[in-house]
Amino acid sequence: MKKHTALFASYRKIQKGMTLVEVIVVIAIIAIITSLVAVAVIPRIDDTKRKAATIDISNIMGALNIYYASKGNYPSTQTGLQELVAARILDKLPMDPWNHPYVYLNEGGKPVIISYGADNAPGGDGNNADISSKDL
């Protein structure tokens, strides 16, 4: 029995690396794990972008309230959010998470901030749905 064990041990010492079958099995396991993670993570990315847009809109509304406190009115639709930069309330205008500018409207003296979502077009649903300060 001892001779057999010694022969097997010397065989394992000589054998180096992995066989093709072992490599294929490892690659298959990695692919399965990657696909499971992707299925779980990708929908969360869209949710996170929508939450980030909501936070940005809240921050812009805060900056507009500071502007209102110092000027007595909100910027017009024509001057828009750029007025916050000119008044040095914001350093620069933020872009929405889909890299589009936020839309500013002054509706009867009340500010409205809108992100049109991933498609950057009014309306839509899901990831393309509008996010408005009216909904906060």
Q: Percentage of the chain surpassing pLDDT 70?
A: 88
Distance CA 50, CA 56 (A): 10
What is the reported pLDDT for 12?
56
Long-range CB pairs of 77-85 (<8 Å, 24+ gap) are 77/104, 77/105, 77/106, 80/104, 81/113, 84/60
pLDDT in 10s for each residue of the chain, 136 residues: 555 555 555 555 555 677 888 889 999 999 999 888 888 877 788 889 999 999 999 999 999 999 999 999 999 999 999 999 999 999 999 999 999 999 999 999 999 999 999 999 999 998 899 999 999 8
Give the chain's length: 136
Topology annotation, domain 46-136? Glycoprotein, Type 4 Pilin (3.30.700)
What is the reported pLDDT for 51?
95
Distance CA 47, CA 106 (A): 28
Residues 6 or more apart whose CB falls under 8 angstroms from that of 53 comprise: 96, 97, 115, 117, 131
Tokens linked to 112: 């409205």
Please classify residue 116 by burial: count the beta carbons closer than 10 Å to its beta carbon, then call 0-12 exposed, 13-18 middle and 19+ buried: buried
Q: Is 95 helix (H, G, I), strand (E, B) or coil?
A: strand
Give residue limits of the domains in the chain. 46-136
* CB contact at 8 A, 96 and 53: yes
Q: Is 36 helix (H, G, I), strand (E, B) or coil?
A: helix
